[in-house]
Each structure stands twice: as C-alpha cells, then as structure tokens.
C-alpha cells in the first residue's frame, strides 16, 4: 500500500518596512531571529515561505537582533552569514502585490518597526481575507500589532479569542516602553483579546486558539512555527 504524500503548503511571512522610531533616534526593523526560526521549522517540514514587506524593497533589520547573543539562538547566525538567505530580504514584494488565495497561512513577524506600519490598510484587509478563507493566521512578539485593526463580520478578529504578544513588562525590560507608540499588551486587551503571558519575561509562550497562533516574544518564534506546521498538517 502506498502512503499519501504530504502536500507542501505556501506560507506568507510579512515583515516591516520601518527602520527607525518616530520619537527617539533608535533604529529598528525586522527582528531577524523571528523570521529565521520560523523559516527553519517550516522549510524543514517541506513548506514554502515567501517574504513580503509592507512597502516592498529592502528590509531593515533591528540592530538589537544582530547582537552576538541573538545570533547564537538557533541558526540565526548561520542565516545571517548566508548570502542566498539574506538576498530574500532584498527587493521584496509589497503587501499589496500578494493574495490570500495563493497561500495556506500567514505569519506576522516582529521587531518594533511593525508598530509603525502593521496598521497598513492593505495588510489589515489581507489578514481578514486569510481568516475568512479559513486559513491559519499567526504572529509573534510585536507581530500581533497586525491583528489589531482586523474585523470579521463587523467585530474585531481578536474579540473573545486567546492571544499573546510582547508584554508591557518585556517592553520596559527592553527600555523601549517610552519609545513605542502604544502598549501592545493593552491594545490586544482593548480589542477584546483574552491576553495571557508567561510567568517570567522573555520566556517562550505560544497560544493557539483554533487557527489563530500567537507567540509572546522572540523566544516563541520556533514554537509558533511548530504550531502552524501542526495545523497545516491537519488539513
């Protein structure tokens, strides 16, 4: 008897196009490990991951994510060294150039840059389309900022759903609580989300509510990917 071959899924990874804060001089951008950890798991499972940014073009990287401790997590350092992999962050398509119908899941990466451009109407519409089509919607760290403005049937997508994201305590620990435009934790709650967090800051926490998968911080990206792969395997 021949076994059935697993179908390869297509996953859309969304990254920020913003490379600096508005109120302070700090630079920001994509938190690299939140992309590499996810891709490592998804591609090992045989799935395809396409990287798309909000505005299109080259993707800014958060310098904090390139520090030695961060590059030592998983294979992030190897990915950063890999010319072919890093080329995936050059000349990216914009969020307005893709369609939910071509993908099986969407993944919203983090880095503080997303707090300034993940409210883009094109992304809001795209995430809504994924959800309405019954596809997996996932996000990590600050990535859930891309869920805040999404509505389904006239009410917030987050209303009544379990969710996590970068906590207020972690924001203070990162010394960015005065630099960010809002508290992600507070805004997730304000949209009716049933927010929860790990007992200690910067500890992995992944929350799954149906086809909604969220991770609290950079340490949660691998776990989010594993949950997404698991959901895709149930199709």
Residues 107-157: tens digit of each pLDDT: 999 999 999 999 999 999 999 999 999 999 999 999 999 999 999 999 999
Of 173, 170, 123, which Cα lies nearest the Cα of 150?
123
* Predicted confidence (pLDDT) at residue 172 exceeds the cutoff of 50: yes
Strand partners for 133: none
* Predicted confidence (pLDDT) at residue 2 exceeds the cutoff of 70: no
* Global pTM exceeds 0.75: yes
* Predicted confidence (pLDDT) at residue 63 exceeds the cutoff of 90: yes
User: How would you class 190 by CB atoms within 10 Å of its CB: exposed for 0-12, middle for 13-18, buried for 19 or more?
Assistant: middle
Q: How far apart are CA 38 and CA 129, in angstroms?
A: 22
**In the chain, % of residues over pLDDT 70:** 97
- pLDDT at position 4 is 44
Instruction: For residue 78, give every residue at least 6 positions away whose Cβ sits within 8 Å of its Cβ, in sequence order, or none.
Output: none
What number does CATH give the domain 10-233?
Answer: 3.40.50.880
* Predicted confidence (pLDDT) at residue 3 exceeds the cutoff of 80: no
Strand partners for 206: 215
Break the chain into its structural domains and give their ranges.
10-233
Tell me what the mean pLDDT of segment 206-226 comes to.
98
Q: How far apart are CA 142 and CA 18, in angstroms?
A: 13
Mean pLDDT estimate for the chain: 96
Residues 69-100: tens digit of each pLDDT: 999 999 999 999 999 999 999 999 999 999 99
* Predicted confidence (pLDDT) at residue 5 exceeds the cutoff of 60: no
Tell me what the mean pLDDT of segment 194-211 comes to.
98
Of 140, 136, 124, 123, which Cα lies nearest the Cα of 30?
140
**Residues 65/31, Cβ–Cβ less than 8 Å:** yes
Q: How confident is the model at residue 30 (pLDDT cuts 50, 70, 90)?
A: very high
Length of the chain: 235
Tell me what the mean pLDDT of segment 164-168 comes to.
98
């Amino acid at each position: 008897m021949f076994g059935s071959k697993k179908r390869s899924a297509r996953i859309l990874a969304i990254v920020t196009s913003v490379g600096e804060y508005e109120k302070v001089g700090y630079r920001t951008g994509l938190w690299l490990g939140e992309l590499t950890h996810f891709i490592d798991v998804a591609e090992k499972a045989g799935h395809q991951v396409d990287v798309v940014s909000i505005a299109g073009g080259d993707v800014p990287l958060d310098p904090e994510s390139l520090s030695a401790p961060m590059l030592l997590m998983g294979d992030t350092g190897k990915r950063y060294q890999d010319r072919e992999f890093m080329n995936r962050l050059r000349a990216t398509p914009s969020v307005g150039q893709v369609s939910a119908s071509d993908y099986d899941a969407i993944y919203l990466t983090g880095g503080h840059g997303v707090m300034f451009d993940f409210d883009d109407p094109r992304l809001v519409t795209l995430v809504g389309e994924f959800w309405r089509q019954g596809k997996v919607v996932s996000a990590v760290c600050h990535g859930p900022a891309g869920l805040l403005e999404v509505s389904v049937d006239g009410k917030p997508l987050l209303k009544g759903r379990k969710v996590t994201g970068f906590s207020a305590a972690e924001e203070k620990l990162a010394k960015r609580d005065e630099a960010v435009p809002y508290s992600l934790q507070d805004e997730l709650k304000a949209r009716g989300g049933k927010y929860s967090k790990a007992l200690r800051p910067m500890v992995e926490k992944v929350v799954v509510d149906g086809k909604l998968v969220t991770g609290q911080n950079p340490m949660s990206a691998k776990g989010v990917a594993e949950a997404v792969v698991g959901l895709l395997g149930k199709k």
